[in-house]
Homo-oligomer: A and B are copies of this chain.
Amino acid sequence: MNSLFKALNDETRRQIVELLKEKDMNAGEISERFNISKPSISHHLDILRQADLVTSEKKGQFVEYSLNTTILEDLLNWILTLKK
Chain A interface (Cβ < 8 Å from any Cβ of B): 1-2, 5-6, 8-9, 11, 14, 17-18, 21, 67, 69, 72, 75-76, 79-84
Contact = CB atoms under 8 A, between A and B. Distances in A.
A14 B79 CA distance: 11
Nearest to A10: B5
Contacts of A82: 17-18, 21, 67, 69, 72
A72 B14 CA distance: 17
A21 to B, nearest CB: 6
**Closest A-B pairs by Cβ, 5 of them:** A9-B9, A5-B9, A69-B83, A5-B8, A72-B79
B11 A9 contact: no
